A and B are shown apart, each in its own frame.
Chain A
């Protein structure tokens, strides 16, 4: 367990955190579920890598272009499928994610199914942290703004939001595009961390894992998503010793979470200074109460 190894886990957690933050906006705050975010990551990853390798674009700019590409793709998908209800939007994103992967399998320009080696390693712990801090700040501000409240209104009651004049379709599109952009940037960082891209890396299971991270942390809680991403990315590493059994445990714990605590770890609460103060005062007042009741003995 050298520092190098821990650093690797932290970088990987940071990369998935970026994608999870985006998905948190879509799932936790807008109430839309996607099983295609690995597809957006793939779009971002391949675009970013193409930019840095084939066009010599600087890394940061390439990442932004990757995010933009994912957002553009998501707008096309959204335009076509955001009108679908519940389950069907889910299935559409699932189909899209798989289609992207299978198309990439056949694009020889990017190495096809055999993969694309030799991508320069540019993602380090420092820039992952910086990107994530920026991403969190943007997301928190967005959620606290009027637009963010509109998104939450849509999550709570779609028809009522429509009636009070929120353009539901437009806001769903915005939410999808932003979350796709986050996923795209995450994909770009992943490409420049592993140095190798293969369509296989973006299978359906990856999208599922991202959604599971959001739900594990708690829908509608950014701090929950952060904890979810870090815990669930490092959990398989911790369980590495029982290599064969780790995914068995993973699958079983997903079912366990669903049937015992579906609101997730944070259940919509945020870790903020005021909330921590409240919690502390509640704990101390609880202690006092006990004291007075027990005072008779």
Chain B
């Protein structure tokens, strides 16, 4: 029983980081109806920024953390400017956005390989590795902090979306971009903000992920799993993305714990296909009905 609880806690902690990433996919999807595959690249750059701010510039963790988040936000916004805005102005079909996003992710991954190199890098130790003990269950300090930071960031996002005027505009733009424009919402600005928010969360997720594991150019592939989580929860739905991520994190750690860690990735992709077959809109996705 305690082993099971232990696995659940590990799953929650990794699931919460997935949630930070998945929310970025979902936010963009909810407004622009395409899967932003460049998001993985932004997460990776965020992780590298945090790493270099802490090692090369020797900044304290908190400062590096905030700067990496802001940097990733800026990167996401400029990606939107360069790779998506021209397509948006032309009303290009969704596929062009996906291809452009794929191009951006290839570009980001390889510019890191070309300039920094493909080696794995380990974050300096910030938190002591002695775990918190609750009876028989031990919770790693880093895991607990990951969960905490993710939770706070997500709550701030929910606050922005539910309580502020901008959040209202984001919701209305997600509902209908045309009607919102007619109602005087500056949708260009909303898209800018959405990419910025997604990018900031991606930066936070990148740093947390880098601290837990290592930093390397192909992190983007791991973030594919957070994309699966977003699909699982329902693309375009924020609560869906969070719930999907937590579930995926738990399912993954349980598979790794009880079967074999080799099947961990496979389970994720099989889950993706299964969800698409039986319930393409996910657990709580926005229903996309095609009117030809």
Residue ranges of A at the interface with B (Cβ–Cβ < 8 Å): 33, 80-81, 84-88, 90-92, 95-96, 98-99, 102-103, 105-106, 157-160, 204-205, 208, 211-212, 215, 244-245, 247-248, 250-255, 258-259, 262
Contacts and interface: CB of A to CB of B under 8 A. Distances in A.
Given A95-B276, A255-B100, 18 more contacts: A80-B273, A81-B276, A81-B277, A86-B288, A88-B276, A95-B272, A98-B224, A98-B265, A102-B265, A105-B262, A158-B292, A212-B102, A245-B114, A247-B113, A250-B110, A252-B103, A255-B83, A262-B92
B110 A247 contact: yes
B144 interface: no
Contact of B35 (A91, A99, A204): A91
B227 to A, nearest CB: 8
Contact of B107 (A90, A212, A255): A255
11 contacts: A90-B98, A95-B228, A95-B269, A99-B266, A99-B269, A102-B265, A106-B266, A247-B109, A251-B106, A251-B110, A253-B103
Contacts of B103: 212, 251-255, 258
Interface in B87-106: 87, 90, 92, 94-96, 98-100, 102-106
A208 B92 contact: no
B33 interface: yes
Contacts of A248: 107, 110-111, 114
Given A102-B266, A212-B99, A254-B100, A247 B288 contact: no
B87 A258 contact: yes
Q: Which 10 A-B pairs have the closest CB atoms?
A: A254-B103, A251-B107, A251-B106, A159-B292, A247-B110, A95-B272, A244-B114, A259-B86, A102-B266, A258-B100
Nearest to B100: A258
A92 B273 contact: yes
A154 to B, nearest CB: 12
A208 to B, nearest CB: 5
Q: Which of A86, A253, A258 has the most CB of B within 10 A?
A: A258
B288 A85 contact: yes
A42 to B, nearest CB: 14
B92 A251 contact: no
Contacts of B179: none
Interface string B193-206: 00000000000000
A158 B96 CA distance: 19
B231 interface: yes
Given A80-B277, A88-B280, A262 B102 contact: no
A87 B94 contact: yes
Contacts of A98: 224, 265, 269
Q: Which of B111, B228, B276 has the most CB of A within 10 A?
A: B276
A91 B231 contact: yes
A85 B280 CA distance: 9
A160 B292 CA distance: 9
Given A247-B106, A254-B106, A211 B99 contact: yes
Nearest to B95: A33
B132 interface: no
B231 A254 contact: no
B173 to A, nearest CB: 18
Given A95-B272, A158-B292, A258 B106 contact: no
Contacts of B265: 98, 102
B106 A205 contact: yes
Interface in B267-292: 269-270, 272-273, 276-277, 280, 288, 290, 292
Q: Which of A81, A84, A102, A157 has the most CB of B within 10 A?
A: A102
Interface string B221-245: 1001000100100010000000000
Contacts of B280: 84, 88
A106 B265 CA distance: 11
